[in-house]
């Protein structure tokens, strides 16, 4: 393979379980010191596999862009449909989210749907997604059909140390997209009144307050939102923006 051919070969950066493809970039091929020694050491973990004995370095001017994209790869969240092998880490994430709440019910009652996700959600026209950063489960959420065109958004959870970084928005948009594609036209939900940031999160994403209720002993605020074709485009654009302008890489 000539250097010219190499420059036109897709360069795949491996980061955890995601990959980004950089095409038609002006890469330097070989061991030419296009970047400093320290930068080269940092770059080694993202070494490409285009040619077994070739190390491809970007031009100095592009290094900052390159590293920012590599950071995005390592810190991007990918979503998969619920799999039973992840039940325990999912329950751990849920329990950490409700820590400090006196639910007024037993743990078994609270987690009844979470120990039967396939029956409650997946086999009933619903959906349940898990979000990962690398091997770590950091997000969860799903929707359950209530009647024709109406579904309830449930069990939205984001790891405490990662809240406020956009992962909740990514998860919500993808659930809205899948709900709309499956025929849902209205999504409803309820969330604890004592969580002002969560209330503001749903208001910011177009949900309107419709009433109040209780989940066990916890006072909740009810919301609803009408879905349209815009949620599909919005979800695609949001995932693309989160991955540096590239379409979602892994949404299973």
CATH code of residue 85: 3.40.630.30
Q: Are residues 38 and 97 in the same domain?
A: no
Domain-embedded: residue 139: yes
Query: For 39-64, b where at least 16 C-beta lie within 10 A, e where not — what string?
Result: bbeebeebebebeeebbbbbeeebbe
The whole-number average pLDDT for the span 141-162 is: 96
In degrees, rounded to 5, the angle at the alpha carbon of residue 141 between the alpha carbons of residues 87 and 123 is 70
**CA dihedral of residues 90, 150, 191, 133 (deg, nearest 10):** 30
> In the structure, what pLDDT confidence band is assigned to residue 1 with cuts at 50, 70 and 90?
low
d(CA 197, CA 163): 10
d(CA 54, CA 30): 6
Q: Are residues 123 and 153 in the same domain?
A: yes
Q: How far is CA 102 from the centre of its chain?
A: 29
Q: Are residues 64 and 133 in the same domain?
A: no
Q: Give first-to-last CA distance, the chain, whole Å.
A: 35
The whole-number average pLDDT for the span 175-200 is: 96
Q: Is residue 201's pLDDT more than 50?
A: yes
- The range of the structural domain enclosing residue 228 comes to 78-242
The pLDDT, as a whole number, for residue 230 is 76
Q: Mean pLDDT in the chain?
A: 76
Sign (positive or negative) of CA dihedral 199, 202, 208, 214? negative
Q: Is residue 191's pLDDT more than 60?
A: yes
pTM of the model: 0.67
Domain-embedded: residue 90: yes
Q: Are residues 69 and 150 in the same domain?
A: no
Query: Per the structure block, which two tokens stand in for 206?
Result: 């177009």
Q: Are residues 126 and 219 in the same domain?
A: yes
Query: For 83-108, b where at least 16 C-beta lie within 10 A, e where not — what string?
Result: eeebeebbeebbeebbeeeeeeeeee
Domain-embedded: residue 157: yes
Domain-embedded: residue 247: no
Select the highest-mean-pLDDT range: 29-33, 40-44, 216-220.
216-220
Last residue of a domain, which of 24, 51, 75? Answer: 75
Residues 153/143, Cβ–Cβ less than 8 Å: yes
d(CA 240, CA 13): 17
The pLDDT, as a whole number, for residue 239 is 53
């Amino acid at each position: 393979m000539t250097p010219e051919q190499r420059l036109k070969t897709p360069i795949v950066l491996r980061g955890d379980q995601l990959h980004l493809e950089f095409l038609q970039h002006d890469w330097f091929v070989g061991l030419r010191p296009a970047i400093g020694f320290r930068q080269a050491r940092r770059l080694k973990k993202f070494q490409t596999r285009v040619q077994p004995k070739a190390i491809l370095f970007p031009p100095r001017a592009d290094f900052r862009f390159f590293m920012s994209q590599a950071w995005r790869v390592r810190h991007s969240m990918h979503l998969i449909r619920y799999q039973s092998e992840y039940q325990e880490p999912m329950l751990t994430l849920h329990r950490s989210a409700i820590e400090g709440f006196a639910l007024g019910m037993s743990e078994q009652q609270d987690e009844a749907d979470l120990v039967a996700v396939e029956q409650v959600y997946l086999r009933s026209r619903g959906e349940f997604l898990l979000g990962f950063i690398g091997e770590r489960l950091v997000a969860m959420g799903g929707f359950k059909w209530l009647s024709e065109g109406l579904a309830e958004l449930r069990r939205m959870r984001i790891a405490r140390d990662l809240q406020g970084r956009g992962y909740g928005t990514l998860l919500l948009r993808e659930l809205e997209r899948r709900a709309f594609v499956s025929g849902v036209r209205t999504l409803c939900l309820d969330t604890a009144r004592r969580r002002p940031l969560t209330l503001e999160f749903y208001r910011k994403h177009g949900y309107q307050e419709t009433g109040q209720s209780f989940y066990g002993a916890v006072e909740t605020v009810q919301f609803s939102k009408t879905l349209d074709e815009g949620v599909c485009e919005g979800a695609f654009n949001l995932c693309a923006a989160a991955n540096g302008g590239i379409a979602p890489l892994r949404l299973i």
